[in-house]
Copies of this chain bind each other. A is one copy, B any other.
Amino acid sequence: MPAYDETIDNPHSERIRRVGDLKERRSRIRHGRFLVEGPQGVREAVSCRPDAVLDIYATVADPQTEPGKEGLAGPSAAASCVPPSPSAGPAVSGPRRAADLPATLGGTVVPIVRQALEVGGIYVHYVTDRVMKAMSKDSQGILAVCRTDAMTGPEGSGWTQAAGPVAAFWQVRDPGNAGTVIRTADAAGCRCVVFVDDCVDPFNPKVVRSTAGSLFHIPVLSMGTEDFMSWCRSSGFDLVAADVYGTEGRPPTPLPDFLEGPSTGGRATAVLFGNEARGLPADILTRTDRIVSIPIYGKAESLNLATSAAVLLYSMAMSGGFHVESY
């Protein structure tokens, strides 16, 4: 078996350990890489942002327990050469041609691996189940290592150019919430997501999983409160805070009234949501253009962050207050 087709079977190797370490924020910052786990996320990464993908790891059945099976992966649609990624480190495995897919590759990941090989520049490695589990418990047979800098730079050609509002979240802390609001903002046609101030890392593996691929559909930016305020001012955004209480002398406008209110005369909107437990502080609320609250029609005390974002962003999208493209 040629070297480029070898299956990585040592879960203690330096390469495998370093991929697994990307679960830690410290390692993500040091190496400028992050993990994408599972077929849905890897597929969207390869389809929408292949420039961000460095390596793909896919589980194959252990060659020592299932030898000699070949050809089950079917014919390849193309057989373009894939040069080793210069930043991927020393090549220890991985086929160079799409035609070379191992027969023991799991069925759901075959089209993803094939696309990765065809698109070029992505290095594919085959690993045993034990090696995969050493890197991730949530891979479902496939994971990708991506470049952080490709995701945080200015909006590039790989990004959607949706015309919806900016969806901004101040001090969002729960990874599941953060991922869900990215997915919701994507679905509602937002132009980007901004994590403001001290938020969970958007490249935390649980955030990435919870976005269900939306991380690769719209830009997710991180910035401090002052930078966010300056950006809103210089961009001419109508800054709307989502808040139940408002500030003294400035009660919030209920969402139905807000939706029927005057338009912003062509100005784009930025909607800012607060922390899951504490909402937005008064000194931020006073600096917004408008405050909007979601009415409670029953007895619930409040809505959680993900629900609030869904209701507000979608009602804005459906009210036609901004131009959106349907895909």
Contacts and interface: CB of A to CB of B under 8 A. Distances in A.
Contacts of A56: none
Nearest to A164: B297
Interface stretch (A7-15, A107-115, A140-148, A306-314): A306-314
A314 B299 contact: no
A162 interface: yes
Interface in A281-315: 294-304, 306-307, 310-311, 314-315
A289 B324 CA distance: 30
Instruction: Count copies of this chain in the complex.
Output: 2
Interface residues of A, number: 45
Contacts of A303: 183-184, 187, 310
A73 interface: no
Contacts of A259: 318
A66 interface: no
B256 A298 contact: no
Given A214-B299, A298-B189, A307 B310 contact: yes
Given A311-B314, A314-B315, A297 B214 contact: no
Nearest to A217: B299
Contact of A315 (B40, B180, B315): B315
A119 interface: no
Interface in A48-78: 48
A106 to B, nearest CB: 18
A315 B319 CA distance: 10
A186 interface: yes
Given A187-B302, A189-B298, A213-B300, 13 more contacts: A164-B298, A180-B307, A183-B300, A183-B304, A183-B307, A184-B303, A187-B297, A212-B304, A295-B317, A295-B326, A297-B326, A297-B327, A303-B310
